[in-house]
Amino acid sequence: QGFVYVAFIIDVFARIIVGWRVSSTAHTDFVLDALEQALCQRRPEGKVTHHSDRGCQGGFNRSSQHL
The predicted model scores a pTM of 0.66
Neighbours of 33 (CB within 10 A): 15
Q: What pLDDT, in 10s, does the model give residues 7-65? A: 888 888 889 999 999 999 888 888 889 888 988 888 878 777 766 666 545 455 555 55
**Three-state secondary-structure class, residue 11:** strand
Report domain extents, the chain. 5-66
Q: Which among 50, 2, 45, 43 has a CA at the least distance from the CA of 26?
A: 2
Helix (H) or strand (E) holding 18: strand 16-23
> Do 11 and 39 touch, CB atoms closer than 8 A?
no
Q: What's phi and psi for 2, nearest 5 deg?
A: 105, -160
Q: How many residues does the chain have?
A: 67
